[in-house]
């Protein structure tokens, strides 16, 4: 297996922030996109390495594990990392789909699905890619709900494994915060027109302004990233998920509640 350093692949420092990592990837991905390098077969291999590097470094938990191996094994960190992470693991939860689609719209290039099938074969399955407002299931279709699919909640055995790992290595594995669910009640006319909506976040004792998209329908969920419960050990905060309900006259609410005809 060839050895790579993900930071060198993207041309960023180890302390680079997420925005800088994303910008570096976008620039290089556009440069090495196969549609712009039809006479350069090496570009496709370069693109695959770029995709992998971005998927790892843009994910907090994968990046932390890679950094730990890098500190322990130096140039051999990549081979140790790939012993534990398959391609499916690496790309799970990545927002790389969104970036590919942005390039496709802006420059007329092929999008994510076609490129990844070319790179990894027609059998390459898509699991939990961040897909705008919803998750993608393994068939590539958009899943229900808003926001990327969250990992399975931490169970007892996983908690014990995390503690054991921390004791052995001195490294605290990050745990993502839980989502917060709430309801916002909108006038139907306002929902049709959309606009800013004031919301009081009780758990954080904070006043927010929610941007309601025009034409939103009842039952839809508006996701506010990182406004849920805080994570632990450097893990990401959960999201605030606001379910839309329409305001109705009192008689309509009573009719619905008690089944009056």
The model's pTM is: 0.48
Q: In CATH terms, are 6-135 and 175-254 the same topology?
A: no
Residues of the chain with pLDDT below 70 are 1-2, 111-113, 116-173, 249-261
Correct CATH for 6-135 of 1.10.3720.10, 1.20.1730.10, 1.10.287.110, 3.40.50.300: 1.10.287.110
Query: What's the sign of the alpha-carbon dihedral 141, 143, 146, 150?
Result: negative
Distance, CA of 183 to CA of 219 (rounded, Å): 10
At 199-240, the pLDDT tens digits run: 898 888 888 888 999 999 999 999 998 889 888 777 788 899
User: pLDDT value at position 251?
Assistant: 58
Residues contacting 1, CB < 8 A, separation 6+:
78, 79, 82
DSSP helix/strand/coil, 186: strand
Domain 175-254 CATH superfamily: Urease metallochaperone UreE, N-terminal domain (2.60.260.20)
Phi-psi category of 140—alpha, beta or left, where left has phi over 0 and alpha has psi -120 to 50?
left
H-state helical runs in the chain: 6-10, 18-32, 42-57, 60-73, 77-84, 87-91, 96-107, 112-120, 156-169, 188-193, 250-258
Locate the domains of the chain by residue range: 6-135, 175-254
Query: Using an 8 Å Cβ cutoff, are 98 and 132 in contact?
Result: yes
């Amino acid at each position: 297996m060839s050895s790579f350093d993900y930071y060198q692949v993207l041309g960023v420092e180890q302390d680079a922030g997420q925005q800088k990592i994303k910008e570096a990837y976008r620039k290089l991905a556009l440069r090495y996109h196969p549609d712009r390098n039809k006479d350069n077969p090496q570009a496709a291999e370069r693109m695959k390495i770029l995709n992998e590097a971005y998927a790892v470094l843009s994910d907090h938990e994968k990046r932390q594990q890679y950094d730990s191996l890098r500190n322990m094994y130096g140039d051999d960190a990549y081979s140790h990392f790939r012993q534990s992470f398959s391609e499916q693991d690496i790309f799970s939860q990545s927002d790389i789909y969104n970036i590919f689609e942005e390039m496709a719209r802006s420059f007329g290039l092929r999008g994510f699905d076609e490129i990844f099938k070319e790179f990894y074969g027609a059998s390459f399955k898509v699991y939990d890619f961040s897909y705008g407002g919803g998750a993608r299931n393994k068939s590539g279709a958009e899943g229900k709900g808003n926001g990327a699919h969250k990992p399975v909640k931490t169970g007892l055995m996983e908690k014990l494994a995390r503690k054991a790992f921390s004791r052995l290595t001195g490294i605290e594995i990050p745990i993502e915060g839980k989502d917060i669910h709430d309801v916002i009640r909108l006038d139907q006319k306002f929902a049709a027109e959309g606009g800013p909506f004031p919301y009081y976040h009780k758990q954080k004792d904070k006043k927010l302004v929610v941007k309601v998209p025009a034409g939103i329908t009842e039952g839809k969920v508006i996701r506010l990233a990182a406004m849920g419960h805080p994570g632990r050990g450097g893990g990401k905060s959960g999201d605030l998920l606001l379910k839309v309900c329409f305001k109705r006259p009192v008689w309509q609410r009573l009719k619905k509640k008690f089944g009056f005809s």
